[in-house]
Structure 1
Amino acid sequence: MSARTALFLAAYDALLARWPVPVEPLTVRTVHGTTRINACGPADGRPLVLLHGGGATSTMWFANAGALAEAGHRVLAIDLIGDPGRSVHDGAALDGVPGLLGWLDAVLDGLGVRRADFCGHSYGGWIALEYALHAPVRVDRLALLDPTQCFAGFRPGYLLRSLPLFLPGRTPARARAYLDWETGDTPRLDPDWRELYALGYADFPASRVVTGPRPSPERLRTLTSPVLTLLAAHGRTHDPDHIARTARRTLPDADIAILPGTSHHNLPMAAAPHLNPRLTAFLTPARQT
């Protein structure tokens, strides 16, 4: 292990230690490698799978996991394989979207979870939505937090601003500048998470991100899970009003709201006092079935 990777993992563990409830680290081995799951809440609680955004790691749920666990869920926060975190992609390539969804199938099988609620942020929201379309019998309720590439595309200005992130010569400073620009005048990002993201971006070995096209309206209308979509009012990633209109038109029964004072990256953390009650209220009917 390199010194820089050790620094990243130390920052990861320090942020995980801030979770307000005991965390049980679990691992599941699949053909793609070893997946890390940070679990909390009652062992017999209704499973809730949390999928983080790109580069965010499962530690990003520090402001939400306690409330979700206290509401009775068995929280299963997964480190995406191939992404910065404690999952290790040392096996077969994911080979596109089918491989990514197959990996998630295998993780749930390894955990003994037949059916769960899902909540995803950003890129994790896209994965959660694709998984609900892929395996509807395994998804009860679906919560999407400022999801990308689900109902509409990125703002052109955002794509131009984020382009340097994908160029050679990655440094923590480049990642910090990007996060600070995206957060704008909304509440500042948690400094520990901001630094973890920057270290992971610059120094952690990762695989190519698996992406795919946005689901068509026809595919979205086949969803059988109740859907909650919470959008960042001041996110620079996409236009929240356009996303909300499109989502309501496509999924008229979905619960959709725009949270004020939030950016794309700080929504799960800065908005936790408003976000957590919305999430637990939405997920409660599934937990009582």
Structure 2
Amino acid sequence: MSAPVSRTPRGARAADPAGAALGEFLAAYDAALARWPVPVEPLTVRTPHGATRVNACGPRDGRPLVLLHGGGATSTGWADTVGPLTAAGHRVLAVDLIGDPGRSVHDGAPLGGVPGLLGWLDAVLDRLDVPEADLCGHSYGGWIALEYALHAPARVGRLALLDPTQCFAGFRPGYLLRALPLFLPPRTAGRARSYLDWESGGSGLDAGWREVYALGHAGFPASRVVTGPRPTRDRLRALRAPTLVLTAGRSRAHDAARVAAAARDALPVATVAVLPGVSHHNLLTARPAELTGRLTAFLSGGA
């Protein structure tokens, strides 16, 4: 029987369908990961749904902090965040979502909906021997983090949601119309680059990550996104974890002020703020010092 967690050679390729486009994506992924400012320990975590890549860094005896990326973004997008987080003493566990572009391989049981997705994250934490952790999610990863905190409250210490989608308000119709062509054939890297540049205003994006996103969109086998409805008010009222919600003031995905107001209304004890001058997709890279300052203060117990 295979070990539940194994150390993955940095350049090793996952057992996905071969192809030039996929190979180009994986090369860009590895190049982006190599630029992280801290040493990375790539782990392969075996779950019933397949092999999950976790890029771990920071002190092994530090408090676990699970990072969940946005749809199509891969864990490489946390490059500007992991340095301050590890310096603050966190054991960072940056996960590649199963079925999403990245180095996780969804070759096991189907997720079968939201319960399966949350069960997959249960299995990842179990295999890593992490009974309880802080969670931080961006965009779609924010929705997963929130759902997981509601699903397994005893396993989540603090919860940070970075411009989360489908948590407190819906998408702007114009954003959905702009994003729709991304999922229609042919899926091209150029179309993905154009979409990112439109949403971010053409600034604040890390060039290497932009290429990972674009090539993953074009070259990674498509998988059905597991999602669900926004949590109801009653469910949100039951949230136990201290929560930070940061929205992107220039987000085209949704109205940042409306999301922030809805979060304050639903979670009266949460810390909620709008970060000016950043968009949904460049939130992690446009002004990283402000973002990581707020994040590390919150995770250390501050407001």
Q: TM-score range by the shorter chain?
A: over 0.9
| 1:244 corresponds to which of 257, 260, 283 | 260
Deviations 1:178-232 (A, max 9, x none): 11110126x3311111111000001111321101000011100000000001110
Give, as a single letter, the amino acid of the residue that structure 2 aligns with 1:102: G
Deviations 1:48-94 (A, max 9, x none): 00000000000000000011001000000000000000000001110
Equivalence for 1:27: 44
**Which residues in structure 2 correspond to 1:124-273 (within 5 Å)?**
124-184=141-201, 187-273=203-289
Give, as a single letter, the amino acid of the residue that structure 1 aligns with 2:67: L
User: Is the CA contact (8 Å cut-off) linking 1:35 and 1:88 kept in structure 2?
Assistant: yes
Query: How far apart, CA to CA, are the structure 1 residues paired with 2:282 and 2:144?
Result: 19
Query: How far apart, CA to CA, are the structure 2 residues paired with 1:2 and 1:173?
Result: 18
Is 1:75 paired with 2:92?
A: yes
- Residue 283 of structure 1 deviates from its aligned partner by 0.4
User: Is the CA contact (8 Å cut-off) linking 2:168 and 2:259 kept in structure 1?
Assistant: yes
- Residue 173 of structure 1 deviates from its aligned partner by 0.7
Query: How far apart, CA to CA, are the structure 2 residues paired with 1:7 and 1:114?
Result: 37
Query: How far apart, CA to CA, are the structure 1 residues paired with 2:165 and 2:101?
Result: 19
Equivalence for 1:3: 20
Deviations 1:262-287 (A, max 9, x none): 0000001112110001111000139x
User: Is the CA contact (8 Å cut-off) linking 1:229 and 1:256 kept in structure 2?
Assistant: yes
Is 1:15 paired with 2:37?
A: no
- Residue 35 of structure 1 deviates from its aligned partner by 0.2
Give, as a single letter, the amino acid of the residue that structure 2 aligns with 1:151: F
Give, as a single letter, the amino acid of the residue that structure 1 aligns with 2:272: I
Give, as a single letter, the amino acid of the residue that structure 2 aligns with 1:27: T
Query: Runs of 4+ in structure 1 displaced over 6 angstroms?
Result: none
Equivalence for 2:55: 38
- Residue 160 of structure 1 deviates from its aligned partner by 1.1
Query: How far apart, CA to CA, are the structure 1 residues paired with 2:37 and 2:249?
Result: 27
Query: How far apart, CA to CA, are the structure 2 residues paired with 1:173 and 1:276?
Result: 31
Root-mean-square deviation (CA), in Å?
1.0
- Secondary structure (helix, strand or coil) at the match of 2:137 reads strand
User: Is the CA contact (8 Å cut-off) linking 1:146 and 1:264 kept in structure 2?
Assistant: yes
Deviations 1:26-48 (A, max 9, x none): 11111110000000000000000
Per the normalisation by structure 1, the TM-score is 0.97
Deviations 1:88-135 (A, max 9, x none): 000111000000000000000000000000000000000000000000
Give, as a single letter, the amino acid of the residue that structure 1 aligns with 2:106: H
Query: How far apart, CA to CA, are the structure 2 residues paired with 1:48 and 1:188?
Result: 25
- Secondary structure (helix, strand or coil) at the match of 1:25 reads strand
Query: How far apart, CA to CA, are the structure 2 residues paired with 1:79 and 1:146?
Result: 19
**Which residues in structure 2 correspond to 1:53-68 (within 5 Å)?**
53-68=70-85
Q: Quick one: percent identity of the two aligned structures?
A: 72
Query: How far apart, CA to CA, are the structure 1 residues paired with 2:94 and 2:204?
Result: 24
Query: How far apart, CA to CA, are the structure 1 residues paired with 2:77 and 2:86?
Result: 15
- Structure 1: runs of 5+ lacking an equivalent: none
Query: How far apart, CA to CA, are the structure 1 residues paired with 2:298 and 2:226?
Result: 29
Query: How far apart, CA to CA, are the structure 2 residues paired with 1:165 and 1:25?
Result: 30
Per the normalisation by structure 2, the TM-score is 0.93
Equivalence for 1:50: 67
Query: How far apart, CA to CA, are the structure 2 residues paired with 1:128 and 1:23?
Result: 23
Equivalence for 2:5: none
- Structure 2: runs of 5+ lacking an equivalent: 1-17
Give, as a single letter, the amino acid of the residue that structure 2 aligns with 1:124: G
Structure with a larger share of its residues in helix? 1
User: Is the CA contact (8 Å cut-off) linking 2:21 and 2:218 kept in structure 1?
Assistant: no
**Which residues in structure 2 correspond to 1:79-118 (within 5 Å)?**
79-118=96-135
